Amino acid sequence: QVHLEQSEHQLQTPGASVRLSCKASGYIFSEFAIAWVRQAPGQGLEWMGWIKLDNQRTFYRPKFQGRVSMTADTSTSVVFLDLTRLTSDDTALYYCARRGKKEGLFYGMDVWGQGTMVTVSS
Our CB check for other proteins shows the closer of 16 and 58 to be 58
Tell me the closest approach of the beta carbon of residue 49 to other proteins, in angstroms. 9
Our CB check for other proteins shows the closer of 18 and 99 to be 99
Confirm if 34 and 3 have CB atoms less than 8 A apart: no
Neighbouring C-beta atoms of residue 16, cutoff 10 Å? 14
Our CB check for other proteins shows the closer of 16 and 46 to be 46
**Length of the chain as a residue count:** 122
Question: Does the protein bind other proteins through residue 32 (CB under 8 A)?
Answer: no
Point out which span in 24-32, 65-73, 78-86, 94-102 binds other proteins (CB under 8 A). Answer: 94-102
Question: Does the protein bind other proteins through residue 13 (CB under 8 A)?
Answer: no
CA atoms within 13 A on the CB side of 64: 22
Question: Does the protein bind other proteins through residue 36 (CB under 8 A)?
Answer: no
Question: Does the protein bind other proteins through residue 44 (CB under 8 A)?
Answer: yes
